Amino acid sequence: RPERHAKLYHQRRARQASPAESQRYLPSFAYFRDPEALSRVLALVDEKRLPLEAVGPLLRLMFTERAARAPAWSYLKEHFPHLRETLGDMWTGNLVEASGSIPPKLRDDYVNFYAKSLGGVAKQAYARGLETLELRAEFQASTKTELVAWFQAH
């Protein structure tokens, strides 16, 4: 399915369709739930089959989707130097903040990775991402017992 959307993008781009028309399906890549489909989406990024201007928004959107968070986090860590160089510091900040949506159990990974990788860039984005992680952990810890009890009762 991701390949089909990428093919549509390239066909529309070849006939010089407007960006709104040619890039219409690209955001939908973040909503795939199947791990194999998500891997293929990230492979399309690696193969440069998606426009560079779509990569930052796609990754940021992937961090909003439960199924896509872990693959997006792994991809970001593996490709961080290249992403930072090609997307620039503004997108670096956007992705650092968005990656704060990863599961709270990955907090130490988040802290350690950015401690080694940021080099003084995106300090505020890092702080906001870390706050998101910590607030989510606090919320999950404080509501888990009540939610389990409610689901068992209903």
Bigger pLDDT: 5 vs 52: 52
Q: Which residues touch 105 (CB under 8 Å, ≥6 apart)?
A: none
The answer to whether the pTM exceeds 0.75 is: yes
Residue 33: exposed, middle, or buried by beta-carbon count in 10 A (0-12, 13-18, 19+)? exposed
pLDDT tens figures, 15-44: 887 777 777 778 888 999 999 999 999 999
Confidence of residue 70 (pLDDT cuts 50, 70, 90): very high
Confidence of residue 1 (pLDDT cuts 50, 70, 90): low
Which residue do the tokens 């955001």 mark? Answer: 27
pLDDT, mean over the chain: 91
